[in-house]
């Protein structure tokens, strides 16, 4: 199969660096170029050692210099996604979108329209779908190993990336506008909840059901100097009767590094996606990112989880290439993902009103 000529836009998203090795190693891809939003970001990119990849200071400059580019990873702040999707659709360039295309549903619908009209592939990066532990969960669900599922509890808890990726700490760039969490609360939408859509997606995928209602509550911030929520709990019920509790908090503290590096975490495990699922035949406990290797060495002599099995980006890219070359629709496409975005929005609405939101 002819390799897909691919580029990365912006380089400001927290997942950007996870693509470097995949784009470099995967023979189905020909990594052509990147665009950076500032010289500082360009310098950070070259710090990773990919000096053979040209870096441009604007998307258009890159596209004009490399008309051979067929596809891009849009790795920017949420607030820039619409303009970049429009640009790619106009140029007929396929898109691998970050996990949040936008929270503004009018913008979202415009993205769906331009993607549909241009005929490009637009795949949403929800990498949990390519995690081998999740493969096993899906298989056990398909076999009804738990019988009828009764309750679904999931965590997607991490450190906060705002020091390394400052746009995630700016409500206008993360959420899309400056909306207070609720009357009298000095904080705004755009924090931990916006960073962690995976479990909102997984419950839909695994149960095959849709949200009936959703309730959310924010706690006092662990980080008192950021202006968005970092602790939030969500519960509710699916239409098939499954009750759920979702925890998408930034509840693991971090060193305030400008570039992610060893020693970023203060709590040993910087990121977890765990599930406790009960059914009428029994219980399933799942750690999607475990077991691992552990140490308390350099740089901070703290007990640390050294992530050991982390290959979601391989399957994700394989599907993207397959969709481009064989004209398939990605399983995680804009249409599928819209309900997950609506669920996140409903959480903020619930926080605002103090009551559940019905779908």
Partner 1 sequence: MMVKTEIEALKGLLDKYDVPYAGGDLEIKVPLQPWRCNRKYVELKKLVTSETLEHPCLLRFCHLTASSTPLEELLYREFDLAEFICGHKIQALHAVFTDGRSGNVIIKMDNGIVGSVEVGNLLPEGAAEVDRHEIIARRGVGSDMVVDTQIPQQSIYLMTKDGDQAYKDTDSELYGLDEKGIERIRAAFEFLKDPQSAAFHTAQDASLKQAVAAALTSNETHKKIEL
Contact 248, 196 (CB under 8 A): yes
Supply the minimum distance, in Å, between the C-beta of residue 325 and partner 1. Answer: 14
- The total of other beta-carbon atoms located within 10 Å of residue 336's CB is 16
Q: Is 156 in the site for partner 1 (CB under 8 A)?
A: no
CB nearer partner 1, residue 258 or residue 281? 281
What token pair was written down for 107? 């913008």
CB nearer partner 1, residue 172 or residue 255? 255
CB nearer partner 1, residue 105 or residue 261? 261
CB nearer partner 1, residue 145 or residue 253? 145
Q: Is 314 in the site for partner 1 (CB under 8 A)?
A: yes
x-marked contacts with partner 1 along 26-45 as a string, rule CB under 8 A: -x------------------
CB nearer partner 1, residue 132 or residue 219? 132
Judged by CB under 8 A, the number of residues near partner 1 is 39
Contact 213, 237 (CB under 8 A): yes
Q: Which one of the spans 76-84, 127-135, 165-173, 197-205 is the region binding partner 1 (CB under 8 A)? A: 127-135
| Cα–Cα distance for residue pair 217/352, rounded to 1 Å | 9
**Contacts of partner 1 in 243-302 (CB under 8 A):** 262, 281-288, 290-298, 301
Supply the minimum distance, in Å, between the C-beta of residue 244 and partner 1. Answer: 19
Query: Can you tell me which of 21, 58, 240, 308 binds partner 1, judged by CB under 8 A?
Result: 308
Q: Is 311 in the site for partner 1 (CB under 8 A)?
A: yes
DSSP string for residues in 52-105: TS-EESSHHHHHHH-TT--EEEE-S-GGGHHHHHHHHHHHT-EEEE-S-S-S-H
Q: Is 136 in the site for partner 1 (CB under 8 A)?
A: yes
| Cα–Cα distance for residue pair 246/154, rounded to 1 Å | 5
> What is residue 142's three-state secondary structure?
helix
Q: Is 233 in the site for partner 1 (CB under 8 A)?
A: no
| Cα–Cα distance for residue pair 75/7, rounded to 1 Å | 10
Query: Can you tell me which of 254, 312, 319, 342 binds partner 1, judged by CB under 8 A?
Result: 312
Using the 8-state DSSP alphabet, how is residue 221 labeled?
-
Query: Can you tell me which of 146, 233, 245, 253 binds partner 1, judged by CB under 8 A?
Result: 146
Query: Can you tell me which of 24, 87, 91, 145 binds partner 1, judged by CB under 8 A?
Result: 145
Nearest to 234 by CA among 254, 219, 252: 219
Contact 98, 161 (CB under 8 A): no
Q: Is 49 in the site for partner 1 (CB under 8 A)?
A: no
Query: Can you tell me which of 21, 306, 353, 355 binds partner 1, judged by CB under 8 A?
Result: 306
Q: Provide the sign of the torsion angle of the four alpha carbons 218, 220, 221, 224, taken in this order.
A: positive
Using the 8-state DSSP alphabet, how is residue 343 labeled?
H
Query: Can you tell me which of 30, 41, 133, 233 binds partner 1, judged by CB under 8 A?
Result: 133
CB nearer partner 1, residue 59 or residue 125? 125
Helix (H) or strand (E) holding 324: helix 312-326
Cβ-based neighbours of 146, under 8 Å, separated by 6 or more: 140, 277, 278, 279, 280, 281, 282, 283, 284
Please report, as ranges, the residues that interact with partner 1 according to CB under 8 A.
Answer: 27, 130-133, 135-137, 140, 145-147, 262, 281-288, 290-298, 301, 303, 306, 308-309, 311-312, 314-315
């Amino acid at each position: 199969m002819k390799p897909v000529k691919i580029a990365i836009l912006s380089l400001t998203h927290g997942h950007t660096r996870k693509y470097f090795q995949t784009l470099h190693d995967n023979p189905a891809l020909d990594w052509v170029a990147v665009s950076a939003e500032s010289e500082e970001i360009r310098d950070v990119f070259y710090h990773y050692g990919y000096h053979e990849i040209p870096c441009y200071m604007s998307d258009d400059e890159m596209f004009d210099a490399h008309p051979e580019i067929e596809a891009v990873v849009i790795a920017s702040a949420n607030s820039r996604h619409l303009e970049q999707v429009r640009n790619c659709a106009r140029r007929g360039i396929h898109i691998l979108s970050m996990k949040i295309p936008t929270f503004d549903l009018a913008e979202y619908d415009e993205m769906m329209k331009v993607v549909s009209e241009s005929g490009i592939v637009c795949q949403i990066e929800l990498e949990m779908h390519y995690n081998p532990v999740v493969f096993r969960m899906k298989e056990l669900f398909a076999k009804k190993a738990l019988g009828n599922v009764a309750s679904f509890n999931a965590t997607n808890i991490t450190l906060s990336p705002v020091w390394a990726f400052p746009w995630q700490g700016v409500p206008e760039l993360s959420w899309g506008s400056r909306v207070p969490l609720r009357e009298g609360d000095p904080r705004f939408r755009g924090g931990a909840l916006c960073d962690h859509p995976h479990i909102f997606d997984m419950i839909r995928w695994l149960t095959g059901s849709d949200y009936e209602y959703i309730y959310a509550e924010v706690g006092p911030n662990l980080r008192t100097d950021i202006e968005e929520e970092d602790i939030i709990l969500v519960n509710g019920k699916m239409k098939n009767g499954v009750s759920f509790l979702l925890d998408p908090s930034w509840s693991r503290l971090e060193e305030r590094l400008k570039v992610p590096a060893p020693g970023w975490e203060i709590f040993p495990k910087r990121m977890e996606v765990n599930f406790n699922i009960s059914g009428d035949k029994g219980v399933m406990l799942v750690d999607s990112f475990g077991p691992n290797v552990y140490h308390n060495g350099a740089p901070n002599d703290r007990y640390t989880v050294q992530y050991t099995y982390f290959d979601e980006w391989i399957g994700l890219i394989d599907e993207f290439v397959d969709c481009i070359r064989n004209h398939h629709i990605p399983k995680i496409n804009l249409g599928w993902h819209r309900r997950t975005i609506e669920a996140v929005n409903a959480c903020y609405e619930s926080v605002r009103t103090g009551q559940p939101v019905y779908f």
